[in-house]
Amino acid sequence: VKKQLQIEILNYYLYLTSTTAHKYESGDELKDLPVILRIKLELALKKDTVTSVPLFQGLHAACILSLVHHINSGIIALPSENLYSAGSMGDRMFIIEKGSVVLTVPKQMDH
């Protein structure tokens, strides 16, 4: 995250804490952040992940922003966890940031 964005977010929270007796609950620290700062932070944290996927390279900035907004980060697949089953319709895409995935094709589907 670039220094300027860090400063903007810090300044916002300094202002917020100096004007209110706001108490944050765990996980809610960013919910009161103005939308523009949340968008900037999301973009700073997730843009490299999106653009590392060859399919998404060269997309218009608005498309990248939309993808960044829809990323549900923090999903962790446990070892031996089944993400998809052969023949089922997929409803999401996974971007593997760390680790690896094994693709197993059942013999009856092997052509």
- Over residues 57-76, the pLDDT tens digits come to 999 999 999 998 888 776 77
Q: Residue 101: which of 75, 66, 69 has the closest Cα?
A: 75
Of 40-44, 45-49, 99-103, least confident by mean pLDDT is 99-103
Burial class of residue 50, CB neighbours in 10 A (0-12, 13-18, 19+):
buried
Q: Is the pTM of this model over 0.75?
A: no
Q: Residue 97: which of 60, 48, 41, 38 has the closest Cα?
A: 48
Sign of CA dihedral 67, 41, 76, 103: positive
